[in-house]
Amino acid sequence: MNAILKYMRPVAVIGIGKTAFGAFPDRDLRSLAVEAIEHALADGNVAPAGVEAFYLGNFAGPSFVGQNHLAPYVGSAAGFESIPCTRIEDACASSGSAFFHAWQNVAAGISDVVVAAGVEKMTSQSTPRVTEILAGAGDMGGEGRAGATFPALFAMIARRHMHQYGTTREQLAAVSVKNHANGAKNPQAHMRKVITLEQALAGKPVAEPLTVYDCSLISDGAAAVVIVPLERAREFTSRFAKVLAVAQTSDHVALDTKADITLFPAVKSAGERAYKMAGLGPKEIDVAELHDCFTIAEIVASEDLGFVEKGNGGPFAAAGCTAIGGPIPINTSGGLKSKGHPVGATGVGQICDIVMQLRGDAGERQVARHHIGLAQNLGGSGATCVVTILEAAK
């Protein structure tokens, strides 16, 4: 891997674009994706005709909206003609993976201007049907046959974390309270609602010990970025972000095949690879967007990425260490819990949020130190992880 990296070009993100995340009954999947792409192209001062390749992250468009062949379906509507358009599916890490493949394309010197996007239109289906579709990212031969959905699987992870490390429901709720507070300041968030610890603890039970306030939202939305070789970034804008590292790794899909369900090996290995590639460690990260599909997932990721020692993620969050003014601000966007989780759009959406922080454009959510940011995108119950590290333009 290191030998290959010697021959790869540095890459920069020059344009970002997102739709609001929410429930949009009058919008279809394609219009959401095109809106995000148009915003990203305008932000990067790039015309559609200048794009040389397009990667689209989408988990379940065929199941949610009945549409296959999504990459050219979206790409042609965005004005991309006679270029490769490729859909990437990696569960909730679909667009993080799309970004990884787009980065590889540019870094390898195959293309100079590439768009990576993600989209999902989820609210066209009922909540039980959405839960059923999402369960397809697990092991359908075992977990699916047993009726286990992702709330149940992450409830098992939470319960085991409580047993091994003494994590409490109050600590889980503290993650939700913090992310709701951040999301309330985000004009593009699905749920802009401040909640108290008491409200979070009294939420409707979903899967013990998780309540509705521990679970991410069913959302529609899209996000997109434009990437180019770093040496060409200033041809387009002075407001770019350098990609220091992108790493994608995988693990077993089924929860019962993991040695310790309180640890996500894919997160740990992707983080270690990304840190090595970037030449830095967790203490040098100024701001992070972590995949909080459930509150326990943020706690586990904060441990696996080295922000806090294993088992101490709960107390770390409850002490305010991951708040905007804390040592390592996590999910200043509101996270999946408040910002929303249109699953195929989440990974690229996180990268957009990090770039906003690095540019100093996050408004009320802006952190004081914003030189280096990290995005972590998870698929399933830890079977796929993409970690991206970005640096502000110098």
Annotated active-site residue 69? The verdict is no
Instruction: Find, among 332, 335, 338, the residue nearest to 360 by Cα.
Output: 332
CA triple 54-379-301, angle to 5 deg: 120
Catalytic residue among 341, 352, 370, 385: 341
Q: Tokens 């957009």: give the residue.
A: 352
234: phi then psi, degrees, rounded to nearest 5: -70, -10
Annotated active-site residue 101? The verdict is no
Buried b (16+ CB within 10 A) or exposed e, 223-244: bbbbbbbbeebeebbebbbbbb
Alpha-carbon span 291 to 311, nearest angstrom: 18
Instruction: Find, among 120, 96, 107, 91, the residue nearest to 53 by Cα.
Output: 107
Catalytic residue among 92, 215, 321, 352: 92
For the annotated catalytic residues, the residue numbers are 92, 341
